[in-house]
Amino acid sequence: MHKGHRVRLKKKFLKNGADSFEKHELIELLLFYGIPQKNTNELAHTLIKTFGSIQGIFDAPMNRLLEVDGVGESTAILIKLISKLCRIYMEKNINTSHKNLTKEEIGEIILHKFIGRIKEHVLIALFDAKRNIVFCEIISQGSFGSAGFYIRDIIELSLKYNATKAIIAHNHPSGIALPSQEDIETTITLKNALNLVGVRLVDHIIVADDDYVSIADSDLGKQIL
């Protein structure tokens, strides 16, 4: 039944593209390149069942992937590589050179920076007087509330790039985008620190899964920003 299956699946992809595939077939095809000879159909189904979706597979921690029967180190590395490549691809295809980006465009730029990040990370986006993005990168890994060691770095970056406005962002790997009390207190501390060097903190964005919440657009933003 499986004789020539790999060849047929590859030809199907070349002829019709990925849109013609079922979800398990896409994973099955990917697994061909981590498992050169063994039938990967059953493993593809197992991975989707275990992690719930294709996104769940790519976002799964390395150790969880290795717990799945049939997934070796090479296969796990291949799977983990996908989200990292997607993030780089998305970042390189976003034009940040024009002025006056909308809130939605800025939100999308920041959201793409968190693709595949399963641990909490902190990002800072800096803008000049003409509202050009002059810096937008992850600056630390770890709890946003543990801000003492990176507030100085943010101030130094703001001065280096002659920024006038800033947006802070961090992700909640739990998938819940509600700010904690610690998040709120740290936001206020950062806002006050940036004010001292003439930089206005205009938003704090919390990323969860493939969506985000803007504190500036919430009732809370009126109180703390």
Q: pLDDT for 110-130, tens place per residue?
A: 998 998 888 889 999 999 988
Per-residue pLDDT, 154: 92
For residue 50, which amino acid is it?
T
Q: With a threshold of 0.85, does the pTM exceed it? A: no
**How many CB atoms within 10 Å of residue 111?**
18
Measured CA to CA, the distance from residue 45 to residue 50 in angstroms comes to 9
Per-residue pLDDT, 188: 93
Which tokens sit at 100? 């006056």
Q: Residue 203's Cα: distance from chain center in Å?
A: 18
Per-residue pLDDT, 22: 93
Per-residue pLDDT, 31: 95
Per-residue pLDDT, 192: 95
145-147-150 Cα angle (round to 5): 150
Low-confidence ranges of the chain (pLDDT < 70): 1-3, 91-99, 145-149
Per-residue pLDDT, 19: 87
Residue carrying structure tokens 């997607």: 86
Question: Residue 43, exposed/middle/buried by CB under 10 A (0-12, 13-18, 19+)?
Answer: buried
Which tokens sit at 150? 């990176």
